[in-house]
A and B are shown apart, each in its own frame.
Chain A
Amino acid sequence: MDTLTQSPVQAAAAQGVEAPVLVLDKVSLAFDDKVVLREVSFTLLPGHTKIILGASGSGKSVMLKLIVGLLKPDGGSIYVNGERTDTMSERELMKVRADLGMVFQEGALFDSLTVAENVGYKLYEESDMSEDQVRQRVEEVLGFIGLHDFTDRMPSELSGGQRRRVAIARAMAFKPRILLYDEATTGLDPITATTVDEEIIKLRDIENVSSVLVTHQLRDAFYTATHEAVRDTGGIRVQAASDEKSDEAEFLMLRDGLICFEGNAAELRASKDPYLKTFLS
């Protein structure tokens, strides 16, 4: 029983690979009689990126909600940092969530709180950090995301791109080691989208965060996969990544509840599958 429930994590350990931070093992979910996911499996290694593509309604958001435990799967199992989470109670899940940051599709900012209160929410309310420490961390995070002038604004006073960035800031403020982004760049102009992409790249390469990126914007998907952030004398710089680094980003395409493609950027570009081709064009 025990060996069975821990198999995906143990298998990875046995092969001498780094233990995955995230494992989905044959996860299924249906709403009433509408099947959204059919036995979907994947593994995310520390510091790597998983890019989930798919038409709208293909279950991308549902997949992220399953990972955070906001929804429970009908079948299969989910492991975060080696712990099985799909059988946990809400109370137990709270501990797991301390290591998971989620950027919701429309931001889901608390509209009764200011930008700073949103960003520092978890630190103010759910940690015993002092107010000064929290303020410091909030300033640091807002600086990272380039929004230090917006501290006291309300979310309703922000543009779409700014809201997304605040949402990212809120998700990263408590330093989770896994970040999940739900269409962080959808509906943004290309320049703002690139800014957001670069934040994601920086978090991954500078803070060593493992990321799951949901999108249907291929431009942003390829950009995050093929660029890397490096620290040099002038600060942090984003540049074209080595092939090896690019391989750490894996693409995954959802269709009709199944994974219809899995591979790196080059393989995705080279794919001959007609459905992928229509999606790529």
Chain B
Amino acid sequence: MIQHWLKAAVLEVQEYVRLQGATMRAIVRGPYYWHDIIEQFDQIGLGSLTVVVLTGFFTGAVLALQSGFTLDQFGARPFVGRLVSASMIKELGPVLTGLMLAGRVGSGIAAELGSMVVTDQINALRALGTDPVRKLVVPRVMAGFLMAPVLTVVADTVGIIGGWLITTFQLRVSSGVYWTSVTEALYIEDVWMGLIKPFFLGYVIVTVGCYIGLRAKGGTQGVGRATTNAVVTASVAVIAVDFILTRVLFTLMY
């Protein structure tokens, strides 16, 4: 029983790695479908902006509220900015953006590719001389890899602004104190960590979505299953990869 399960898991990972191999080869050696690449940057990047802005804003705001009251116990209310910026930039910005992308982009890709599989559209592409990896996977991987960091920076920025609003209007700390505190806590290592992580998270979310979508079978029901699977797998992967990266980056940089 366990043996059977292990074997299936190993096979699955093997296939996932194989798809990434094919994707890498296609990225290195053209031809490229530029039209699709631009469309995916628009869909994945611009399309996720609203979600990311809202998540970032409220996360920053709630961080300021919570830490404000905690810090009061030590009479350290003016240090709110420090907490907000450090947590947003190092952890919450990348991870929450990753989770939002897993929900929006991971599921979207799995649903779209899954329905193309079960309606034979992928076969039709191949029959018409197109490599589905080049046409469908490469543009999504490029967009996910490059747009996740951009979106994370947006989330970080909006989060710090959200924190500022709460700090000045609710906690009654002056703007000047908040912004000094925000920048004081910014070590260059933290900024790097916050910028490196989302490249990996974006890549994982998109490749998981593509892999699960392309393996969909069993009609519309199968597409539904694939979509759910993609969201769950991508979300768990975001948290797990974030942990591993944090561990590795700590060793490398600090």
Contacts and interface: CB of A to CB of B under 8 A. Distances in A.
Contacts of A105: 120
Contact of B130 (A100, A106, A109, A126): A126
B124 A104 contact: yes
B130 A125 contact: yes
Nearest to B39: A112
A106 B119 contact: yes
B124 A110 contact: yes
Interface residues of A, number: 21
B124 A108 contact: yes
Interface in A92-120: 94, 97-98, 100, 102, 104-106, 108-111
Contact of B121 (A90, A97, A98, A108): A108
Nearest to A105: B120
A94 B129 contact: yes
Interface residues of B, number: 14
Contact of B119 (A65, A94, A108, A170): A108
Nearest to A94: B129
Interface string B130-166: 1100010000000000000000000000000000000
Nearest to B133: A90
A108 B129 contact: no
Contacts of A106: 119-120
A70 B121 CA distance: 12
B69 interface: no
Contact of B123 (A65, A94, A121, A125): A65
A108 B131 contact: no
A109 B127 CA distance: 12
B119 A122 contact: no
Nearest to B115: A111
B33 interface: yes
B126 interface: yes
Contacts of A111: 119, 121
B121 A110 contact: yes
A132 B139 CA distance: 27
Nearest to B124: A108
B214 to A, nearest CB: 14
B128 interface: yes
A169 interface: no
B129 A70 contact: no
A268 interface: no
Nearest to A68: B127
B123 A108 contact: yes
B30 to A, nearest CB: 13
A67 B14 CA distance: 28
Interface of B: 33, 119-121, 123-131, 135
Interface of A: 65, 68, 70, 90, 94, 97-98, 100, 102, 104-106, 108-111, 121-122, 125-126, 170
